[in-house]
Each structure stands twice: as structure tokens, then as C-alpha cells.
Structure 1
Amino acid sequence: MEQYEKDIISIIVPCFNEQESIPLFYKEFNKVTASLKEKVLFEFIFIDDGSKDNTMEEIYKLSDIDDRVHYISFSRNFGKEAAIYAGLKKSTGDYVVMMDADLQDPPALLPEMYNYVKNEDYDSVATRRVTRKGEPPIRSFFARLFYKLMNCISQTDMVDGARDYRLMSRKFVNAILEMSEYNRFSKGLFGWVGFNTKWIEFENVERVAGETKWSFWSLFRYSLEGIVAFSTFPLTLSSFFGLFSCILALVFMIFIIVKRLILGDPVAGWASTVSIVLMIGGIQLMCIGILGMYLSKTYLETKKRPIFIVSKTNIDNEDKS
């Protein structure tokens, strides 16, 4: 019988307060990937992003019964982007999969995803939701607006409804790891590195347990991170506002002078003057705020602080990044 070496797939699972979801995720994953066990070896990398519940206890239980289960526990909450980066750095597989523990990323898609990268000319297989069933309408509206805006102002291709759930070749992962920036926006990084990507569509799946950790405000801040990280358009826009304000002020100045010289009317209209001053002041403050956002990101990058700090892990060669 001909022997061959099996591919290794690293499963990266960022976790934040997912004690209820982890056992369900592990059970469902093993059930749907049984068809791949003759071709593939799996390793799990659970990243506990400073959870306040019993997430780590559930991960410990899995690691005790399954030596494929590895874990990284952060010293505090560093955010999902840091957890993704830590998982990518620690992964050893020929292929790497990122997915959430709440089963909103269907494990049933994994055999199809693996087939595309293994047997066809793809370096990654990404997923996108074609529906947003179960989400508040206002949240769905702004999510779609964000993707449209990013595709207009950025050269990075971002697909509406894109999930972090994707399978990547080692070449793709290494390209992502070369970008060790502190301010990370993975959806943008995946599009920026290029390579040949296959998109798989699926309908929205609700969480199997627990509650979402993403509030409207946190998503709004995350969207600003993406805009600042992958577009300088806000800086261009602030310059346009400044130029427009100067031209408008010049036109008003000429109008007032001509009116005074020709008609002899006294300068009047304090209400309109105050309104114009407030408008121009508001534009100036907004432009200063835009500059401040870019400056703050530069400031954080120059500090060279680690993206994450590991508190506990069962993976060899522990380090900071």
C-alpha cells in the first residue's frame, strides 16, 4: 500500500468569554471533519483573549483529552486582531484556518475549502455571508455602507459580508506575518497581500451560545481602524474642506466689500457671521481630529510595543510579538 504524508491544518480559534461555545464547537468540528481524517491531521490553537469567565478551564479540559489541542492565554484582553496574529505566528500547519468558536463560521464548509486549495489553483478560500438574518437592521445598513465606502476610498479589495473564516496556504500566512504592524485590520491585510482567493457564500448563522462581544460602538471604532489603516482619503477630504472654506470666505469678503462701497450699507448680520464662524471652526476641528487619528496610529507604531503578551501556553518556543 502506497504511503503518503498527510497535510497538517492548523485551526486558529480566538476566544473571549466563550465558555459555553467551546465544547459545542469542538464536538461539531470533529463531527463534520471526519471525512478528512484519512488525508489531514489537525491541530487546534485556542487563543484566550483575557476572558473573564471559565473559557480557559474549558480549553484545559480539551487539552487533557486531546493532544492536538494547544492554547495561548493572554495576560489581558488585547483584542481579536492580536489573537489572530498570535494564532498565525504559532501555527505550524501546511494550511491554516481561522474561525470563531460560536459556530457562526460553519465547520461543514471546511472539506470544500480544503479541496479548493489542495486541488485547484487557490492560495486561500474565504467566506462571506449573503444574508444578515438576526442582525439589527441599523447594524446591517452601516456594515454594508462601510464596505462600499472602503472599496471607494481604498485600493484594497474588501468583499461585503466577508468573514474572518478562511483557509490559507502557508505562503499566504507567511505574507500576512511579514506585516507585523501594531494597528492591525485583518480583513484589509488579507485583501492587500493579494494571491488567488476563492469566495464561498453562506447564509448567516446565529451564535450557538452566549452573546456577541461586538457592540455597535465597538464595530464603529473598528471600522475607523480599517479606514485609517488602508486609506489616506480622510486626509484628502480634510484638505478639500480647508480649500473650500477659504474660497467661501474669500467670496463673502468680496461680496461685503462691494456691497459697502456701492450701496453704502453698513455691515450687518451678526447671526449669519456667528454661524459662518461656527461652521468654519467645526470644519477646522474635524480636520484636526482626522490628523490626530493618523498621528495617534503613527505614535503607537513608533513605540514598538508587543502586539500581545502571553500569560500561559502549552506551545513550545513561547515569545512576545
Structure 2
Amino acid sequence: MLLSVIVPCYNEEESIPLFFKEMEKIQAKLLGRYQLDYLFVNDGSKDKTLDVLRQLSQSHSAVNYLSFSRNFGKEAALYAGLREARGDLVTVMDVDLQDPPELLLEMVQLLEANADLDCVGCRRTSRDGEPPIRSFFAKQFYNLINRISNVEMVDGARDFRLMRRHMVDAILEVTEYNRFSKGIFSWVGFKTEYLEYKNIERVAGETSWNFWSLFKYSVEGIVNFSEVPLSIATFAGLFFCLVAFAGGILIIFKTLAFGDPVAGWPSMTVIVLFLGGLQLLSLGIIGKYLGKVFMETKKRPVYLVKERSRAQK
């Protein structure tokens, strides 16, 4: 049986040989039950990642790769890998070995033991080695998204998961341009169990994820899977309209009763600036959703392939 291993890569020339070496140990432990079919997706790397993949593909028939015309992002790489995967089982793994390859054996055993199980995922129980502020905001993101979205996302869940073919086919039916895979994996449903493990630091190279990129990624997740920000903007506007109306009544009453002394300019300035900022914030929220709609209507491809090691399936 074929087991497809999808590996997104961006500037990972140092990590790829180490990853492949560890995965070949896993292949030996599968005892011939599954044949690993590697699909590396080069997401417009600027180092020698593509050269390493070419050499690896030439020396190992089980290794294949796609190379994008530029950097389209990890979401595009995941989508491309899922579209190209040929296995009855499909797994997504990070090349930096933060996704422990030995867990793949447990994932296979769980699927074999439970015919009703569609997917086995992995989740981190700790974030050792990460900056404390990143860990804090990551936890707050999961708390927030699970409160404002109908799709439950597991705190600490990784993209590392083993899926049956029918689940992969269901994910591929979600053809939207603006993709947030953690949400899509949950949205399609299917019975999933999670294996827990402690965080492992990458073996080589540097991560391309910084605080700002993770923050933008979290915003994408909120916008893609919740309409609550739009509701907040609506209710905030309604609330301040009522406050303004009540304030107007109060001013009319005060003027009729006590006259109209000229006073309160500082407080008035603060109020105007506050309401102006609130309006801009609301327009920004609405604009974010409109921007998503705009990109969807363009019907642009999620990615463009410049080079591939095998014919498209």
C-alpha cells in the first residue's frame, strides 16, 4: 500500500537530508506493509533547496518534488501536495523534524486498529523553546477562535496528520483561494484522534515564521472561519449611535435649563477622535472581508509550478 508523505520546503537545504535519513528508518520499520512515496514541495526557496531535491530525486525513485515559480506560502504548498498525492494514506510533515517521524508508526497502527477512524493528528502539549510571548498569543488565539467560530480547532494541533484517501478528497473539494488548513481539516469533519507529544526544536536552519507572520496567519484564520468581527463592528456602531442620541437629548435639556456656556472642547476632541478611530476600525474589518471576496472572484490559481520531477497525475 502506498503512503504519500507531503513535505513543504522553504529554504531547507540543511534539513532535507536529515529528514530523509530519519524517514528511511521509518520505512524499514513498516516491514513492507507500506511504501513511502515522498513529495517535497519547494515553495520558492532562495537557497539550494531545489538542487538538493533534484539530487535526492535522481538517487531515490520514491522521492518526487514540485517547485513553485515563486513563494506562494505554506498553505499553497500543502494544497499542491494534497492534489499531487497518490497514496491510499497521506501524511503532511515539516522537514525540520519538529514533527517526530517515529510518531508516524503509531499513527499507522491506530488507523489499522480502528476502521472507523479517518485521521490521526498530532498535538503539542508544550511549547518549550518558543518565546514566551509567542506561546501566550498562540494559546489566546485558540481560546478566541473556538469561542467565535463554529469550527473547533484543537490547541497545539499540528499540520502533521495521517489521513485516509476519502478525507484527502474531501479537503480537495474545498477549492477556496484564501486557505487556512488547520480550519479546513476541522471543517470537513471526519473522525480524528490526536497523539500528544512535547515540543521539539528544529534540527537545522531557521524558521521563516516570526511573531508578525504568525499574527497575520491568525487573523486569516479568524476571518476565514468566523463572522463575529463583522457583528462586533455592527453592534459597536449601534451602541455608539444610541449613546450619541442619548447625549444629544441630554445636551438639549441642559441648554434649555442652564444656558449654553462654551466649555468642554478637550473632552469633545477626545470623543471625536475615539469615534473616528472606531469607524476606521469597523471599515478595516469590513474591508478585510471584502478583500477576501475580491480575491476569490479573481479565480487566480493558488500556486504555479515551474518544475516537477514526475508527470501530473
Does the 8 Å contact 2:5/2:90 carry over to 1?
A: yes
- Deviation of 1:32 after TM superposition, in Å, equals 3.0
Structure 2, gaps ≥5 residues long: none
1:184 and 2:153 matched? no
1:60 to 51, 54, 61: 54
1:313 to 289, 308, 311: 308
Distance in 2 (alpha carbons) for counterparts of 1:194 and 1:65 = 39
Distance in 2 (alpha carbons) for counterparts of 1:47 and 1:38 = 26
1:150 to 145, 158, 173: 145
- Per-residue CA deviation, residues 104-146 of structure 1 (Å, 9 max, x unaligned), is 0000000110111222021000111000000000000000000
1:241 to 236, 240, 258: 236
Which residue number corresponds to residue 111 of structure 1?
Answer: 105
Which residue number corresponds to residue 7 of structure 2?
Answer: 13
Distance in 2 (alpha carbons) for counterparts of 1:130 and 1:142 = 15
1:44 and 2:38 matched? yes
Distance in 1 (alpha carbons) for counterparts of 2:176 and 2:31 = 36
Q: Percent identity?
A: 56
Structure 1, gaps ≥5 residues long: 1-6
TM-score (norm 2): 0.98
Amino acid in structure 2 at the alignment position of 1:264: G
- Deviation of 1:96 after TM superposition, in Å, equals 0.3
Counterpart mapping for 1:283-294 below 5 A? 283-294=278-289
Distance in 2 (alpha carbons) for counterparts of 1:243 and 1:171 = 46
What secondary structure sits across from 1:107 in the alignment?
coil
Counterpart mapping for 1:128-147 below 5 A? 128-147=123-142
What secondary structure sits across from 1:14 in the alignment?
strand
What secondary structure sits across from 1:43 in the alignment?
strand
- Deviation of 1:265 after TM superposition, in Å, equals 4.4
Amino acid in structure 2 at the alignment position of 1:184: R
2:162 to 150, 164, 167: 167
TM-score (norm 1): 0.96
What secondary structure sits across from 1:198 in the alignment?
strand
Does the 8 Å contact 2:118/2:192 carry over to 1?
A: yes
Amino acid in structure 2 at the alignment position of 1:42: L
Does the 8 Å contact 1:123/1:195 carry over to 2?
A: yes
Does the 8 Å contact 1:33/1:111 carry over to 2?
A: no
- Per-residue CA deviation, residues 264-289 of structure 1 (Å, 9 max, x unaligned), is 24252011111111111111000000
Counterpart mapping for 1:176-255 below 5 A? 176-255=171-250
Does the 8 Å contact 2:124/2:197 carry over to 1?
A: yes
Amino acid in structure 2 at the alignment position of 1:72: L
- Deviation of 1:99 after TM superposition, in Å, equals 0.4
- Deviation of 1:248 after TM superposition, in Å, equals 1.2
Question: Considering only aligned residues, what root-mean-square deviation do their CA atoms show, in Å?
Answer: 1.0
Distance in 2 (alpha carbons) for counterparts of 1:234 and 1:50 = 33
Distance in 2 (alpha carbons) for counterparts of 1:232 and 1:97 = 31
